[in-house]
Amino acid sequence: MKYPTYKEIVPVGTVLLIAASSFGLGVVYSNLIYDYQTLWAFKGDTKVFQNSFNHYLNWASAPAYLHYILHFVMFLGILGGLIKLYKPSEDTTYFEYGTLGLFVLSIIVYLTNLRTGINSVFFNSWGEVSMETGINVIAASQFFVVVLLFGVIFLQGGLYFAEWYDGQLKEEFFANEKKELEAKEKAESITTGAEKTKEKESKVVKKKSKKA
């Protein structure tokens, strides 16, 4: 049985990273309607904070396995990044390190800010800040997560384009080189044929001169 080569596994790492980032963006998007009203479009109505509080309370009260699904997706994203960092080429090293770095930073923001905020909602304990401030910290943290995850997708998209463009340039270069080689071989064959013809003609002339 033939096992896949590392080059064949690399696209799997890309898929895992993009899928995990997209999943994370989807999770944040599901909260956007509440975050937008408290952080970006607050008009003085404190009811929107209570709506957001109830929403995050439902999130915090969800069965543990639902949270584990999100954590498993995070693990898959890290696994994808490690696959791509196992043997990166010199041209893609910084892309891959940057991608994994952004993804890990998004997880750090989730663990330090979002999980802490969700626990504060669950226990209704906000420490030295008000509930409104705590809710907005959750919203702002998710905005940072969005920026980081879009950075992951942007870097992977840029890497794909760079590799595609490099492949196009190499293909064009080798095609031109092949044409030049064929033209050179054709010119050499014509030159060789002409030289052989001259040799034959000179031999014929010599034979005729000897007979004469």
Taking alpha carbons only, the member of 70, 80, 110 closest to residue 16 is: 80
Domain membership of residue 208 (yes or no) is no
Provide the domain limits for residue 81: 6-153
- Note down pLDDT in tens along the chain; length 212 residues: 788 888 888 889 999 999 999 999 999 999 999 999 999 888 888 899 999 999 999 999 999 999 999 999 999 999 999 999 888 777 788 889 999 999 999 999 999 999 999 999 999 999 888 999 999 999 999 999 999 999 999 999 988 888 888 788 888 888 888 787 777 777 777 666 555 566 655 655 566 566 55
Asked if the structure places residue 176 within a domain, the reply is no
In a domain, 76, yes or no: yes
Residue 201 in domain: no
Per the structure, how many domains does the chain have?
A: 1
Taking the model in full, what pTM does it have?
Answer: 0.80
Q: Is residue 181 part of a domain?
A: no
| Three-state SS at 9 | helix
| Residue 102 counted as domain residue | yes
Domain for residue 111, yes or no?
yes
- State how far the Cα of 18 lies from the Cα of 20, in Å rounded to an integer: 6
Q: Is residue 108 domain-resident?
A: yes
